[in-house]
C-alpha cells in the first residue's frame, strides 16, 4: 500500500506547493483524498492514471481541497473514461458539486458523463464502505464557510490512514487517528495560534493520546516550511510517497 502526496500545500501555494491531494493505492484500493484546484496538472506531472481512481474523498468545500473536481471530471470525459467513479464528502456535496461545475465551466454540470458517477454525502461517525475501502468521517473545526468539515479514518488493505483535514484542535481527532498506521496532520504553523488551523505545538501535546505509528505533517505555511529541516517529524512534500 502506498500514499503519494500529489499536493500538500496550503491555500496560498506556500513553498510553491500544489493544493491538497493525496493518492492512496494498494492491492484493492485506488482513491484520492481531496482534489484541490491544482490537482489535475499535479497528477499529470507525476504520471498518475486518473482513470484507475475509484473513489475521491472530499474533506470540505474550500477551493484548495475541492476546486480541482471540474477539471478532473472534464478530463475524464474527454479521455473517454468508462470506469465508475464515486465522490464522497460532507453533507451538501450533491448540490455543491454542480454549482462548482457551473462556476468553472458553464453548462458542464448538465453534460452526461460517459461513466457512472456517484456523489455521496457522509455523516460524521457513520462508517461507510466503498468496495474494499471503509471510511469513517469525523467532524472537525475550520470556521463557518466552506463546511461541513470532515477528517477521515480510512481502513483498507489491513492498514489505517487518518487525515485531519484543515482544523483547529478538536478531541474528535483522537478517535479518528488512534493507533493509525499513518496520521497525516495539518501543521499550519509552528506555535502561532491561527483560528481554525492547527499548530505543531498544539498537535504535539495530543500525539501520545493518538498513538499513531507514523505522523506526517502537511498544509504548512511559510512559517513551518522554514523549520522543517530541524523538526523531528516527517514533513510532506509534493511527489513524496509513504510505503507500507
pLDDT digits (tens, 9 = 90+) for 10-25: 999 999 999 999 999 9
pLDDT at site 164:
98
Name the CATH code of domain 2-243 (choices 3.30.56.10, 3.40.50.720, 3.60.15.10, 2.60.40.2700): 3.60.15.10
Q: Which residues contact 37 (CB under 8 A, 6 or more apart)?
A: 19, 63, 64, 67, 68, 71
Residue 71 grid coordinates: 477539471
d(CA 244, CA 237): 18
Q: In a 3-state reduction of DSSP, which class is residue 141?
A: strand
pLDDT digits (tens, 9 = 90+) for 121-150: 999 999 999 999 999 999 999 998 999 999
**Looking at the predicted structure, is the pLDDT value of residue 58 above 90?**
yes
Residues 58, 166 contacting (CB under 8 angstroms): no
- Whether omega for the bond prior to residue 91 falls within 30 degrees of 0, making it cis, is no
Q: What is the pTM of this model?
A: 0.97
d(CA 97, CA 66): 9
Query: H or E stretch including 52?
Result: none
Per the prediction, the chain carries an average pLDDT of 96
Q: Which residues contact 118 (CB under 8 A, 6 or more apart)?
A: 84, 85, 86, 87
**Looking at the predicted structure, is the pLDDT value of residue 114 above 90?**
no
Q: Residue range 28-44: average pLDDT?
A: 97
Amino acid at each position: 500500500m502506498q500514499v503519494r502526496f500529489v499536493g500538500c500545500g496550503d491555500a496560498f501555494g506556500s513553498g510553491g506547493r500544489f493544493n491538497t491531494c493525496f493518492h492512496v493505492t494498494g492491492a484493492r484500493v485506488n482513491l484520492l483524498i481531496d482534489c484541490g484546484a491544482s490537482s489535475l496538472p499535479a497528477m499529470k506531472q507525476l504520471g498518475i492514471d486518473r482513470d484507475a481512481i475509484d473513489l475521491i474523498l472530499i474533506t470540505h468545500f474550500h477551493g484548495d481541497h475541492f476546486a480541482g473536481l471540474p477539471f478532473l471530471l472534464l478530463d475524464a470525459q474527454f479521455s473517454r473514461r468508462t470506469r465508475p467513479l464515486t465522490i464522497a464528502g460532507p453533507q451538501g456535496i450533491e448540490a455543491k458539486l454542480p454549482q462548482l461545475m457551473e462556476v468553472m465551466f458553464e453548462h458542464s454540470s448538465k453534460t452526461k458523463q460517459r461513466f457512472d458517477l456517484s456523489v455521496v454525502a457522509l455523516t460524521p461517525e457513520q462508517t461507510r464502505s466503498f468496495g474494499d475501502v471503509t471510511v469513517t468521517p469525523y467532524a472537525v473545526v475550520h470556521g463557518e464557510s466552506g463546511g461541513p468539515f470532515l477528517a477521515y479514518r480510512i481502513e483498507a488493505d489491513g492498514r489505517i490512514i487518518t487525515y485531519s483535514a484543515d482544523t483547529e484542535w478538536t478531541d474528535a481527532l483522537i478517535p479518528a487517528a488512534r493507533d493509525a498506521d499513518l496520521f497525516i496532520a495539518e501543521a499550519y504553523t509552528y506555535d502561532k495560534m491561527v483560528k481554525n488551523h492547527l499548530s505543531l505545538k498544539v498537535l504535539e501535546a495530543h500525539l501520545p493520546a493518538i498513538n499513531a505509528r507514523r505522523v506526517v505533517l502537511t498544509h504548512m505555511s511559510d512559517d513551518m516550511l522554514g523549520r522543517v529541516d530541524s523538526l523531528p517529524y516527517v514533513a510532506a512534500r509534493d511527489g513524496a510517497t509513504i510505503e507500507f
